[in-house]
Amino acid sequence: MDAKDKQIATDLAYEMIREVSRDIRPYVGKPESGEKIKMGADGTPTSLIDTIAEDKLINILKNAPVLSYIVSEEIGELKLGRGTKRSITLTQELRREDLEEDEIPKFLFLVDPIDGTNNAIKEIPAYGISIAVAGVTQGRLATLNDVELGFISNFANGNFFEAEKGKGCWLNNEKVSPSNTINISDMTLGGFTKSGTSQASKLVDNARRMRVLGSVVLELSYVASGKYDAFLDLRGSRIIDIAASKLILEEAGGIITNKYGQKLNNTLSIYEKTIVVAANNKILHKQMIDILNDNQTDIIGKIGVISRIDQKRPILLAAKVIEYLLTSGREVIIEKQLAYELVKLKENPDLDSIILKIKEDYPETAELLDDINLNIDYSQLCENLFDFDCDMAVILGGDGTLLRAQSKMKPEIPIFGINMGTVGFLTEIEVAHTFDALNDILKGDYYKEKRTRLVVSHENHRYTAMNEVVVMTDKPAKMLHFEIQVDGEIIEEVRADGLIVSTPSGSTAYAMSAGGPIVDPKVAGFVIIPICPYKLGARPFVVSDNSEITVKLLKKGKRAAFVMDGQINEVAEYEEEIKFKKSDKDAYFIRTSTKYFYEKVKDKLNEGGIQHNTGCNNE
């Protein structure tokens, strides 16, 4: 929008605020104003006072001399102006290519006519209007980043916030800025924390004050003006509620993201919602994000290095990582097998040719092998994996390498995976980002992610698995007959080629290929999947991870092999039981990216993303 268009939009917003305030005044504090008269476009009940407010602003835009789109809580998505009013689907309308130039609206208004309706009905002085204005992005969907103007008015006390992208934020015509509080224990926190998580409770318990006013719009603005230090809505706020207040807060200098610290850039739509975490500054915001995600960042002093050793490229990159960590002042230990391969490599007369060939085959990471230094006494650094005692283990390889290492190390050692396999669901980064990520970690810019592990019991022996346990016949092309119990109750008897008991982490591996669901790692459950069952009704089960799962072999004369994470193989006989329970020791991963699980699923499993592999996590 140019300056002239911004002035037109501002004048329309001022008029809407003024007229809505006047029209709803007689209805404030009246119980009959809360009568539910219809369902809004967003699926929530619409009160009489909401309808009065929305009808007024729609009428203003309808009779305006310019065309506009509007997204509003009750009426949904409309095209208004020049005396016309038409229902639309905004995402379709913005992609239309058949509109003449004079038919294309100038503005996109996102409006919540009354935020805090119940407060208005009960005459609690925390209710107001929110108006955000974006330019029309013909040919693509509009997002929160397209919002250029924001206006919020508290009808109860007359406070008026406004912001212009790149220009700043004002309260009653005076520039505002957030508070300078940096400690959780000193903060005033507003919002909605209904999430059922101990992390949310911890955040609230550690705050100095907690406020719940019932108006997302006003409370986010209070962070901008320093009345609050932070705000969160763990239920999920509608985009139309936060579009204006997000701009106001950011222009004042505050921070607003989702639960994982990612910037908000949702599509502008009646249907869009997002969890909101807002704070006055980066320091306080980082503390909130860490608590909400159960992240505990400790000083990384001693680091273990493990690598797949069947290829030269990961071995050489491991040498580069070891050198980097040592020159960064960290104590380093390396796996014995890796040390042996590094010594062999540095004594290899063809080393220069090997490095040159790797650079030619992998040009995207060639520069990582420049100036590689192998003049290190690796034998002085090596230890058995079982004896590793360090603050972090760096693992170069695919998910198979990572699972092998995790099964042998102490579970409390957090793992940082560099993907040198094919898919790499469990690994954190791709090779090209290795040293940027390590630099962030050494500065403390990381968090720990917790993952559930399985304990497998059989004939007085105990094993652990982080991904899955596969039970199958030890003779090819033969079926097994299983009885499956959960907490002592028989849930299935089935003949099948095998059976998978998977954690959420393993749901993207063999379990997925066998027809199981993809499960968010935060889900507290296990998945039981029959492999090629001879029974139409045999489907995967998702059970609580507080349950004990028992698998018994029912066919006399047949043995089964069961394999933990593709690493450990054992045998079960007729009528022997294999029991599965949640381990009391979780696995931990070092994470530097805030990319959420579902984004990673799309990245790794999109067409072509896994090349020819469709099943097990790879080496």
Alpha-carbon gap, residue 125 to 16, rounded angstroms: 20
User: 128 and 217 in contact (C-beta within 8 Å)?
Assistant: yes
Find the helix or strand (DSSP H, E) in which 89 lies: none
Active-site residue flag, 146: no
* 441: Cβ contacts below 8 Å, ≥ 6 apart: 300, 392, 416, 590, 592
Check if the beta carbon of residue 404 is closer than 8 Å to that of residue 355: no
Q: Between the CA of residue 38 and those of 29, 41, 50, 75, 301, what are the distances in Å?
A: 20, 10, 11, 10, 61
**Contact at 8 Å (CB) between 604 and 424?**
yes
Residues 6+ apart with CB under 8 A from 422: 398, 610, 611, 613, 618
Euclidean distance between the first and the last CA atom of the chain, given in angstroms as a whole number: 52
* Beta-bridge partner residues of 175: 170
Is the alpha carbon torsion for 418, 423, 424, 430 positive or negative? positive
Quickly list DSSP for 246-265: HHHHHHHT-EEE-TTSPBP-
| Torsional sign, CA 594, 596, 599, 604 | positive
Q: Are 151 and 113 in contact (CB under 8 A)?
A: no
Q: Which residue among the candidates 50, 146, 241, 399 is catalytic per the annotation? A: 399
What are the start-end ranges of the E strands in 539-586? 541-544, 549-553, 560-564, 568-572, 577-582
CA distance 366 to 440: 22
Residue 106's H or E segment, with its range, is: none
Catalytic residue ranges: 399
